[in-house]
Structures are given as structure tokens and as C-alpha cells.
């Protein structure tokens, strides 16, 4: 009976730590967004729908980050990390269109080719995706090794 209470206390302690960690990380990410949004406000007026797009991105990214933190030390942590990496890549690919940003204001026209920036960002995100896949494989390997009793 004492063993069950000890396990229950440890479980409550672990879950509360995971919730606190996820909350702190979510608050930090939202705080960064909150501090950077006013700096990008002039750009929001030039590109219609940019603000809403970034808000959706931040919201989905924070939700996937929280789910990943809550499921830490399980295989689902790697599923949510993989989903976060895939979401980031998909967001970049869908939002960039042809990679050229053009805007005009009165008689001034500005065109910027961001294809190289987007390519580098997607390739870095692809590295993050590969890292989460390899971490999931390593996690499953360690679980199988521990259950078979073949540890050195």
C-alpha cells in the first residue's frame, strides 16, 4: 500500500512538473511573439493577411509544443515534435508562394526575392524533422533493450 502511495505521489509530481514546464515554455514563446509583433506592424499594413497568418502559426506551434512537453518521456513526444517540424515546413512552403515579395506604396515599388532564405529555412526544418525521427528510433531502441534485459 505504501508503494502505491509513493508511486502516486511521484506521478503527481512528474505531471505537475511537465505542466509547469509546458506553461513556462508557452509563455516564453508567446512573450517573444508579443514583443516582436509591434516591430513588424509596418509590414502588416503592406502585406494583407500577414498578421492573421502569423497568429495562427504561433497558436498551432504553441499547442504542439505544449502537447510535446506534456507527453515527455513517451513515444508521443516524438510524434508531436515530428508534427511540429512538419507543420513548420508546410507553413513555410504554403506561405512563401513563389518566394518573391512585392509591394507598392504610392509611386514606389519594392520587390524582394526571398527564395534563398526560404530554402535555407526549409532545409533547417528538414534537419529538425530528421532529428525527431532519429530520436524516436533511439527511444524505441532503448525501450526494447530495457524490456529484453540486454543492457551492458
How many domains does the chain fold into? 2
Q: For residue 129, what pLDDT is reported?
A: 95
Q: For residue 151, what pLDDT is reported?
A: 59
Q: For residue 89, what pLDDT is reported?
A: 92
On the 0-12 / 13-18 / 19+ scale of CB atoms within 10 A, 82 is buried
Task: Write out pLDDT tens, residues 30-57.
Answer: 999 999 988 888 777 777 777 888 889 9
| Domain match, 37 and 85 both | no
At which of 70, 88, 116 does a domain end?
Answer: 70
At which of 26, 53, 70 does a domain end?
Answer: 70
| Domain match, 25 and 91 both | no
Q: Which domain holds residue 40?
A: 1-70
Q: For residue 9, what pLDDT is reported?
A: 77
| Domain match, 63 and 27 both | yes
Cα three-residue angle 37-89-139, rounded to 5 degrees: 110
Q: For residue 51, what pLDDT is reported?
A: 83
Residue segments in the chain with a per-residue pLDDT below the cut of 50:
none
Q: For residue 28, what pLDDT is reported?
A: 95
- Taking the mean position of all CA atoms in its chain, how far away is CA 142? 25
- Phi first, then psi: give them for residue 126, nearest 5 degrees: -65, -35
Q: For residue 52, what pLDDT is reported?
A: 86
pTM for this predicted structure: 0.79
Amino acid at each position: 500500500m505504501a508503494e502505491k502511495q509513493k508511486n502516486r505521489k511521484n506521478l503527481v509530481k512528474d505531471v505537475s512538473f511537465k505542466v509547469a514546464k509546458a506553461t513556462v515554455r508557452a509563455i516564453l514563446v508567446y512573450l517573444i511573439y508579443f514583443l516582436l509583433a509591434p516591430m513588424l506592424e509596418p509590414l502588416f499594413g503592406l502585406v494583407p493577411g500577414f498578421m492573421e497568418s502569423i497568429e495562427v502559426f504561433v497558436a498551432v506551434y504553441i499547442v504542439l509544443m505544449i502537447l510535446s512537453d506534456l507527453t515527455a518521456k513517451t513515444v508521443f513526444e516524438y510524434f508531436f515534435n515530428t508534427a511540429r517540424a512538419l507543420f513548420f515546413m508546410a507553413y513555410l512552403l504554403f506561405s512563401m508562394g513563389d518566394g518573391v515579395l512585392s509591394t507598392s506604396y504610392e509611386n514606389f515599388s519594392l520587390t524582394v526575392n526571398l527564395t534563398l532564405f526560404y530554402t535555407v529555412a526549409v532545409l533547417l526544418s528538414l534537419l529538425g524533422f530528421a532529428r525527431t525521427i532519429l530520436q524516436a528510433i533511439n527511444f524505441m531502441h532503448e525501450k526494447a533493450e530495457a524490456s529484453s534485459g540486454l543492457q551492458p
